[in-house]
Amino acid sequence: MKPAGPLTIIRSLLFVIFMYGSMLIVGFSAVWLLLFPRSWSRALYRIWLAMIFGALKIICGQSYEVRGRENLPEGGALIASRHESMMETQAFWQILDDPAIILKKELSYLPVFGWFAMKLGNIVVDRGAAAKALRKMLRDAKQRASEGRQILIFPEGTRMQPGEFTELRPGVAGLYAAMDVPCVPVALDSGEYWSGKGIIRRPGKSVIEFLEPIAPGLSRADFMHTLQSRIETGTRTLRANRA
């Protein structure tokens, strides 16, 4: 990937200032919404996301495209997505009806973001608490799925650089077995445009693609192999077609 030019750096900086500045302004001014039903906070978050992605397109010339919506089942489901940037963690709240995202516990402590993340009914996992944390995550996920919500997890466990892959973490297999719902793999190429680390936001259109669902009932080994294969193959295909 070529180094960003001066104009891209300036545009990226302006967008980052707008994104985090508006998060603080909107969040603190609307903190009273935390006292009301979750639907109020969800509506506010969607309004803020519309502002953010509108600014991203105007300032940085960047947007995203969704493919494979027909692969999303009705009702509760497990969504297992490739993770390359912060972009998709925000975009899924525009794409999915009412997702519950698996988040690191540390994120719940952040001012504004953490408050609303918890109010929106996302699921926090404490990686340092091992089995106890996993059992709680499974209970919370089953409850959210029974409400018809989609559970979103980034099974790689961290943001990956474009073209790099790692072994999936075992938590996704636990969710798949416990929830007994289809698992929809997701391929994407957002890291080509929205840097996983740093402020760079390059112009272009990234793709978020929902792939063929994996039916419930596979063994742990077969599920992990199938999921990893579909995410990697789908992601490589996106990059190859773009090139």
Q: What is the pLDDT along the chain (243 residues), one digit of tens a residue?
A: 677 899 999 999 999 999 999 999 999 999 999 999 999 999 999 999 999 999 999 999 999 999 999 999 988 899 999 999 999 999 999 999 899 999 888 888 888 888 899 999 999 887 666 677 778 888 888 888 888 899 999 999 899 999 999 999 988 999 999 988 899 999 999 999 999 888 999 999 999 999 999 999 999 999 999 999 999 999 999 999 876
Phi then psi for 164, rounded to 5 degrees?
Answer: -105, 145
Secondary structure class of 203 (helix, strand, coil): coil
Domain ranges of the chain: 6-242
- Going from the C-alpha of 63 to that of each of 128, 184, 186, the distances in angstroms are 36, 23, 18
Architecture of the CATH domain 6-242: 3-Layer(aba) Sandwich (3.40)
Kind and range of the H or E run holding 98: none
